[in-house]
């Protein structure tokens, strides 16, 4: 019996690419820098997984994602002419990840799911990132778990295991909800139930990854409303 | 400028005494044990502060409050004839702390405060305890911080400091809300703003402690609605 739903956030709940593009666009305008903003967003995101790898493999102590995002931004700034912006603007741009907009079904869908289950953010984002993002978009988590609470980055197996432990739940009582097959695969290995949500525009119009479930996940849905329907949540939501 | 409100929970948001009495009463009935249930609740609670002291002073590694509650229950069970109950019922009784009812103003008051501020539980209770309690009573935290997230029990100074850090906020941007002067004193020492909420029945009709503010706290109120008024929150709440 499922008691809690644990959500991947970047790409699954929020549209990181459009959020980063929006804020990078404001910086481009302010400084009159001409660069390929979509490419910038993709390149920044491309540094995401490699930057966590040293921590996952124990070569570096845990630091929160805001720090990795800033290091990754520094790494690619020069290529896009962004090395000239002020520190204040750099920190502001780095916090674009705290301001990512949700997919259109996320807010209402989460409310419906909350009516029947504990809903938790199980993201690699740090606590303040998830709090600030959720506050802006009124995403009503019951609990923010994820990397800073469990001390590990997904898809490390212990990241999923510890999240369930924090809720006093068995892994099979938790459903991992993600738009990424590799996230679900790691969660399933620890015994969690799995729900694949198709987010075919996460990487824009040219997306090639995660357009289909790679395995026979417990649930395969097109959005959070379909997941709520399949899990027997009512239409009215939570309040 | 205050950006986040951090709440003590036991006594400040929920009425632990009535919750424990209610569930102990059910156990008494089931086993036909005749004991002073109010005294039992007070004695169990009396073990609370001493049990954390070894952890605060570094003589014992951090363990979550559910474990301390269980040890404390074991310690006093014999005195009340509760040593005869089954393990299942003992664990159920220990989880009475996961089922504590809120004060009558807590839910609506928190919603109003949430409309303007980040609201976080900064309790010595563990994550699952706060999640379960809040789920039952629909207390909509933006974030659950507290002992299990920061790794320290209040009133250790670092417990307050780390909670603010998790939100990327300066201590003076956070308001500690509590019905207990010692909690506020420790928070104020770290630079947090303070709000004293009078909960004159926390210890029942014979309460002698925390009936008045012991210092000139930033806010002194009779309930969460008064706090919301003083902080300029609207009447409509959050949604």
Q: Which of B31, B64, B98 is the last residue of a domain?
A: B98
What total of structural domains would you count in chain B? 2
- Identify the residue among A117, A123, A131, A165 best suited for mutation to test binding to B, counting B beta carbons within 10 A and taking the highest: A131
Q: Which of B70, B98, B126 is the last residue of a domain?
A: B98
Same-domain status, A64 and A110? no
Q: Which of A49, A79, A98 is the last residue of a domain?
A: A98
Asked if A148 has any chain B CB less than 8 Å from its own CB, the reply is: yes
What six digits make up the tokens of B63?
A: 């363990």
Asked if A134 has any chain B CB less than 8 Å from its own CB, the reply is: yes
Same-domain status, B57 and B161? no
In angstroms, the CA A48 to CA A129 distance is: 15
Same-domain status, A112 and A226? yes
Q: Provide ipTM, 2 decimals.
A: 0.96
Asked if A239 has any chain B CB less than 8 Å from its own CB, the reply is: yes
Q: Which chain A residues are within 8 Å of B169, Cβ to Cβ?
A: 128
Pinpoint the alpha helices (H) of A78-221. 87-94, 106-114, 127-137, 147-150, 157-166, 181-189
**Cβ pair B128:A168 closer than 8 A:** yes
Nearest to A143 among B144, B166, B169 (CB): B144
**Cβ pair A166:B143 closer than 8 A:** no
Same-domain status, A106 and A206? yes
Contacts of A46 (CB under 8 A, 6+ apart): none
* 3-state SS class at B19: helix
Does residue A235 form part of some domain? no
Asked if B173 has any chain A CB less than 8 Å from its own CB, the reply is: no
Same-domain status, B179 and B198? yes
Pinpoint the alpha helices (H) of chain B. 16-31, 37-46, 48-56, 65-77, 87-94, 106-114, 127-137, 147-150, 157-166, 181-189, 224-230
CATH classification at residue A110: 3.40.50.1000
**Cβ pair A135:B118 closer than 8 A:** yes
Same-domain status, B10 and B38? no
Instruction: Give the pLDDT confidence of A10-34 residue by residue, as tens digits.
Output: 999 999 999 999 999 999 999 999 9
* 3-state SS class at A47: coil
pLDDT-based confidence at residue A234 (cuts at 50, 70, 90):
confident
| Cβ proximity of B202 and B195 under 8 Å | no
| pLDDT value for A239 | 59
- Rounded to a whole number of angstroms, the CA Rg of chain B reads 18
**Cβ pair A167:B127 closer than 8 A:** yes
- Residue that the structure tokens 């690419």 belong to: A17
Q: What are phi and psi of A44, to 5 degrees?
A: -65, -45
Same-domain status, B206 and B133? yes
Instruction: Give the pLDDT confidence of B56-88 residue by residue, as tens digits.
Output: 999 999 999 999 999 999 999 999 999 999 999
Does residue B57 form part of some domain? yes
Nearest to A131 among B131, B142, B148 (CB): B142
Does residue B127 form part of some domain? yes
Mean pLDDT estimate for chain B: 97
Does residue B239 form part of some domain? no
Q: Which chain A residues are within 8 Å of B167, Cβ to Cβ?
A: 127-128, 131
**Cβ pair B143:A144 closer than 8 A:** yes
Region B4-27 average pLDDT: 98
**Cβ pair B167:A135 closer than 8 A:** no
CATH classification at residue B24: 1.10.150.240
Does residue A203 form part of some domain? yes
d(CA B69, nearest CA chain A) in Å: 15
| pLDDT value for B235 | 83
Q: What are phi and psi of B19, to 5 degrees?
A: -65, -45
A-B C-beta contacts closer than 8 Å:
43
Range(s) of the domain holding residue B197 = 4-15+100-230
Q: Which chain B residues are within 8 Å of A138, Cβ to Cβ?
A: 238
Question: Full-prediction pTM beyond 0.90?
Answer: yes
Same-domain status, A121 and A215? yes
Nearest to A143 among B66, B131, B166 (CB): B131
Instruction: Give the pLDDT confidence of A76-119 residue by residue, as tens digits.
Output: 999 999 999 999 999 999 999 999 999 999 999 999 999 999 99
Region B80-104 average pLDDT: 98
């Amino acid at each position: 019996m499922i008691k809690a739903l644990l959500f991947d956030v970047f790409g699954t709940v929020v549209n990181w690419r459009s959020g980063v593009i929006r804020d990078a666009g404001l910086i481009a305008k302010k400084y009159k820098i001409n660069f390929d903003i979509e490419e910038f967003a993709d390149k920044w995101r491309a540094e995401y997984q490699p930057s966590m790898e040293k921590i996952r493999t124990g070569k570096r102590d845990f630091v929160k994602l805001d720090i990795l995002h800033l290091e990754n931004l520094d790494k690619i700034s020069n290529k896009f002419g962004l090395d000239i912006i002020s520190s204040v603007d750099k920190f502001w741009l780095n916090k674009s990840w705290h301001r990512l907009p949700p997919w259109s079904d996320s807010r209402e869908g989460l409310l419906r799911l909350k009516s029947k289950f504990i809903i938790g953010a199980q993201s690699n984002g740090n606590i303040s990132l998830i709090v600030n993002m959720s506050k802006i978009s009124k995403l009503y988590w019951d609990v923010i778990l994820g990397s800073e609470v469990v001390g590990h980055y997904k898809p490390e197996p212990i990241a999923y295991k510890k999240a369930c432990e924090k809720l006093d739940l068995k892994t099979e009582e938790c459903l991992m909800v993600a738009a990424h097959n590799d996230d679900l695969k790691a969660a399933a290995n620890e015994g969690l139930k799995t729900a694949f949500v198709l987010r075919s525009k996460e990487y824009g119009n040219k997306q090639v990854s995660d357009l289909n479930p790679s395995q026979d996940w417990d649930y395969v849905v097109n959005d959070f409303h379909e997941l709520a329907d399949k899990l027997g949540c009512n239409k009215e939501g939570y309040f």
